Amino acid sequence: MTWLNQLLSRRRLYDDLSEEIQQHLEEKIEELVARGMSRSDAIAAARREFGNVSLTEEESREVWQWPSIESFVADIGFGARTLRKSLAFTAIAAFTLALGIGANTAIFSLVNGILLVPLPYPEPDRLVSITGAYPEGALVAMREQVHTMDVGAYAEGHDLNLTGRGEPVRLTATLMSAELFSILKAHAELGRVFEHGEDVPGKDNYVILSHALWQQQFQGDATIIGRPIELEGVGREVVGVMPADFRFPSAKTQIWVPLHNDPGSVSTYWAGDYMPVIGRLRPEATMRQAHAEIRMFQAHAGALFPWPMPASWNADVSVVPLQNGMVADVRLRLLLLLAAVGMVLLIACTNVANLTLSRTATREKEFALRAAMGAGRRRIMRQLLTESVLLASIGGLLGLAFALEGLAFLKSLLPADTPQLMTVHMDWRVLAFTAGLAILTGIFVGLAPALQVSRGALITSLKSGGRGTAVSVSQRLRSALVVSEIALAVLLVIAAGLMIRSFWALSHLNPGFHPEHILTARITPDESFCDDALRCLTFYRTVLDKVQSLPGVSGAAFVNTLPLGGRVSKRSLNIENHVDTPGETAPLFWLNVVTPDYFRVMGIPVLSGRGFEDSDVSGAPVAVVTAETARRFWPDQNAVGKHIRLLDDKDWRTIVGVISDVRAYDLQHNAPTWIDGTAYVPYNPLATLENKRVPSEMTIAIRSTTEGSQLAALLRESVASLSNEVPVSEVQTMDAVVSGAVSTPAATTSLFVAFASLALALGIIGIYGVLSYLVSQRTRELGLRVALGAQRRDVLYLVMKEGAKFSLTGIAIGLVSAVLVTRLMASELYGVSPLDPLTYLAVALVMAAVAFLACYVPTRRAMRVDPVVALRYE
């Protein structure tokens, strides 16, 4: 008999069976009656000897079934009917779970896409990141001396002008070692990638376009390969176009340019970009060997430099998988968020478990009846678990829909240069995660009720007509659930509170300048334009004159590195009478090159001495330093009147003023840790950077009452009237620059706040639900008490005591776990300790107040208990 036949003929088989058993019983009864037994006794005896009829039938039928699957299907059918019967419960529970599962799915999609999905290069597990940063010279040495891997470096933050094709365009370029493409095993969509040796002077005149740039600027023209395009006024041959899914190091890069490894130009070769280095392990090598080799290389790498290097340089270098290396700073944030949503889901589960528990209590009679019909305890538990898993699956599907919506939003919150962000999507891993989560959730939710259904309790329940003694067991369980729910909510709200405090501190700190009413824009002639420094200076002077005459403009100035603009310009200095620590290099400064009005336009206060004046441009060489720098190099003295000298300059500069500190690097730091001080010099031919040239790319800051976009248009016009080859880019208000600097903490904070509010809301519902249930269970007892003369006050005290007991326990546990856990987020916090007493106290108070309110409503109901009504239930 095939399975199909079996399936079709099963109905008949079952009917036969029922009839057969029926006949069996009747034959038995007849025989017993014939022996002189009364008919009713005979029926009872026959049934006794036969055993459980329905169970026998069920077991006989099971012979023909795939037992586990079919009873599972039956369970699902029954579960679905049960859930449909109580729509309100189902809707609330499924929605609660959907919120939890949806939030988890969305965050997990990010974690999956950014941290888990292998990098989109062949054999990604052989790719490594060498922590630390190396200039070209050190990289070339490493390439020659390291044998366990092939290494290459890249440098971001290099923008180039694309000209000769109408309006000039500013492109985001990434400089690459020629070998880097083959290390990644990346192939061009069109043409070829860079080849070995194409990153040295004379052989490096090539570029590779991104797919997007090729489409936008060159209309996907395949004949572009082999043709030159004009970058920074220099023709460079396009050798390749990368496929659309090649996004290295992030989707921001539009064009790749080879490094220019020129040992002759000492300053850029040894002190230009300090670049991240990545490598591919050679076939026989292991990560451990590579690590050991890099440590050996590092031990003598400092000696290669033409000047002494501090021993601390890359001292803790190591070799890590590339994926970890590239996302190091997003990692913690994502994992924190995952932990937070995990807690939200736990709370949601607890809530639904509680709901289910009280529903199970009302269904006790049903279960007792089923047990009496021969359903085993395990069978009923399985039924309950099936029901809750079904419920969680509905929640999971709904959650998936939420997550689809939420993911796009989440992606927009993360910084655009997060590696792999563009490729984040829901793949099978996410779906598997969600499915697994839904099933686990279902089991978790169903476990408590299932455990509660003990045979003993059921029988008692049937006897007492549903007002069972199982209440005390389930009440303990419910209280435990609610305590943990409150504890989790407290933990999450404290975490969110700390994030809010930190964010508030960040956004209210004084950046050292006044960003209001300032428009900024990057104005970038080709580098060769400034071969003649005077021509360059004149150009900027003219732009400034034109802008200052625009209506509504009260001041304008140029600076090479705008505060919070993401650029640092470093320059070594000598300091008069400053004894260098032996073996150390000259102090490394952040050198700001500005036009005289800069401090006034930006609203940076001059603390002592004076700011720059027009006469400083052509007069004796001068400089201004920040307060922090003055304190560091001239402690207990007035820095004004002291002297500094740009390395290799002839003349000393006189410090004419000390300005207040500016949060230039990010909102928490005036400068990166490897910078020793900050100085400002007026923009003139002496204001040279490390490459001994005056800065050719400047940012203009315009203080004006004119509306931004109108002013921007006027600015573009003014620049275009001077040259049609100079792009104006990065036009944004200074306010936008500042809020850009807090956008990541803002995103993290708002997510934490959202999750914490969810946790809080669910927590309140939890307390309310449990207490309401408690009151309804004790109505009779309370009525009795009132009948015996208890005052309203006593009833109030009685119920509130219960509520307070688990609220306060939950709050206490939450506070303790917060003390233990919040230190994990210390690095995400600014200006507030993870143990901030104020936050803890406030959250404890708020939680207590909220818990009190949640208790109050059921308590009032308890106080109104009419003894007569209550006792009538008897």
Partner 1 sequence: MTKSDQRDLFPGALEMMILRTLKRQRLHGYALVQHIKRTSNDLLEIEEGSLYPALQRLLKAELVKAEWGVSSTNRRVRTYGLTKAGAKHLEQEVSRFERMLDGITRVLAADES
Please report, as ranges, the residues that interact with partner 1 according to CB under 8 A. Answer: 16-17, 19-21, 23-24, 26-28, 30, 49-53, 55-57, 59-64, 374, 376
CB of 374 or CB of 466, closer to partner 1: 374
Which ranges constitute the DSSP H helices of 155-256? 180-184, 211-218
Structure tokens at 776: 């309804």
Which ranges constitute the DSSP H helices of 39-86? 39-50, 53-62, 67-85
Q: In the bound complex, what is the minimum distance in angstroms from residue 67's beta carbon to partner 1?
A: 12
Q: How far is Cα 212 from Cα 210, in angstroms, rounded to an integer? A: 5
CB of 49 or CB of 781, closer to partner 1: 49
Q: Looking at this protein, which amino acid is placed at residue 270? A: W
Q: In the bound complex, what is the minimum distance in angstroms from residue 426's beta carbon to partner 1?
A: 45
With H, G, I as helix, E, B as strand and everything else as coil, classify residue 447: helix
Q: Please say whether the beta carbons of 515 and 601 come within 8 A.
A: no
CB of 5 or CB of 312, closer to partner 1: 5
Q: Please say whether the beta carbons of 506 and 667 come within 8 A.
A: yes
Q: In the bound complex, what is the minimum distance in angstroms from residue 27's beta carbon to partner 1?
A: 5
Pairing of strands 622-626, 653-659: parallel
Q: In the bound complex, what is the minimum distance in angstroms from residue 1's beta carbon to partner 1?
A: 8
Measured between alpha carbons, how far is residue 735 from residues 511, 700, 795 in Å?
Answer: 11, 15, 58
Enumerate residues 6+ apart whose C-beta is below 8 A from 153.
134, 136, 139, 176, 177, 180, 259, 275, 276, 277, 278
Q: Looking at this protein, which amino acid is placed at residue 371? A: A
Strands (E), 108-192: 127-134, 149-163, 169-176, 190-191
Q: In the bound complex, what is the minimum distance in angstroms from residue 75's beta carbon to partner 1?
A: 19
Measured between alpha carbons, how far is residue 380 from residues 265, 364, 377 in Å?
Answer: 81, 11, 5
Q: In the bound complex, what is the minimum distance in angstroms from residue 827's beta carbon to partner 1?
A: 58
Q: Please say whether the beta carbons of 129 and 325 come within 8 A.
A: yes
Q: Name the CA radius of gyration of the chain, rounded.
A: 37
Q: In the bound complex, what is the minimum distance in angstroms from residue 779's beta carbon to partner 1?
A: 38
Q: How far is Cα 866 from Cα 697, in angstroms, rounded to an integer? A: 83
DSSP run (H or E) holding 726: none
CB of 19 or CB of 576, closer to partner 1: 19
CB of 17 or CB of 37, closer to partner 1: 17
Q: In the bound complex, what is the minimum distance in angstroms from residue 8's beta carbon to partner 1?
A: 15
Q: How far is Cα 814 from Cα 843, in angstroms, rounded to an integer? A: 10
DSSP run (H or E) holding 612: none
CB of 17 or CB of 754, closer to partner 1: 17
CB of 17 or CB of 607, closer to partner 1: 17
CB of 459 or CB of 754, closer to partner 1: 459
Q: In the bound complex, what is the minimum distance in angstroms from residue 11's beta carbon to partner 1?
A: 15
- For residue 804, count other CB atoms closer than 10 A to its CB: 15
CB of 209 or CB of 381, closer to partner 1: 381
* Angle between helix 87-111 and helix 67-85 axes, rounded to 10 deg: 120
- For residue 40, count other CB atoms closer than 10 A to its CB: 8
CB of 51 or CB of 837, closer to partner 1: 51
Q: In the bound complex, what is the minimum distance in angstroms from residue 70's beta carbon to partner 1?
A: 15
Q: In the bound complex, what is the minimum distance in angstroms from residue 383's beta carbon to partner 1?
A: 17
Name the nearest CA neighbour of 546 among 808, 374, 726: 726
CB of 62 or CB of 613, closer to partner 1: 62
CB of 49 or CB of 70, closer to partner 1: 49
Q: In the bound complex, what is the minimum distance in angstroms from residue 366's beta carbon to partner 1?
A: 20
Q: In the bound complex, what is the minimum distance in angstroms from residue 376's beta carbon to partner 1?
A: 7
Q: In the bound complex, what is the minimum distance in angstroms from residue 65's beta carbon to partner 1?
A: 10
Q: How far is Cα 464 from Cα 736, in angstroms, rounded to an integer? A: 70
Q: How far is Cα 161 from Cα 172, in angstroms, rounded to an integer? A: 9
Half-sphere exposure of 475 (CA within 13 A, CB side): 15
Q: Please say whether the beta carbons of 264 and 249 come within 8 A.
A: no
CB of 49 or CB of 245, closer to partner 1: 49
Buried/exposed 566-592: b ≥16 CB within 10 Å, e otherwise: ebbebbbbbbeeeeeeeeebbbbbbbb
Q: In the bound complex, what is the minimum distance in angstroms from residue 7's beta carbon to partner 1?
A: 13
Q: How far is Cα 482 from Cα 772, in angstroms, rounded to an integer? A: 13
CB of 23 or CB of 724, closer to partner 1: 23
Strand partners, 677: 589
CB of 30 or CB of 405, closer to partner 1: 30
Q: In the bound complex, what is the minimum distance in angstroms from residue 458's beta carbon to partner 1?
A: 15
Place of tokens 């290799």: 648
Q: How far is Cα 772 from Cα 854, in angstroms, rounded to an integer? A: 9
CB of 26 or CB of 648, closer to partner 1: 26
Strand partners, 159: 172
Structure tokens at 172: 């985001």
CB of 57 or CB of 628, closer to partner 1: 57
Strands (E), 389-527: 518-523
CB of 60 or CB of 265, closer to partner 1: 60
Q: In the bound complex, what is the minimum distance in angstroms from residue 498's beta carbon to partner 1?
A: 56
Structure tokens at 337: 């968020």
Phi, psi of 650 (to 5 degrees): -85, -45
Name the nearest CA neighbour of 248 among 214, 284, 211: 211
DSSP state at residue 613: -
Q: In the bound complex, what is the minimum distance in angstroms from residue 450's beta carbon to partner 1?
A: 19
Would you list the DSSP string of 263-307?
Answer: TTSHHHHHHS--EEEEEEE-TT--HHHHHHHHHHHHHHHGGGSSS
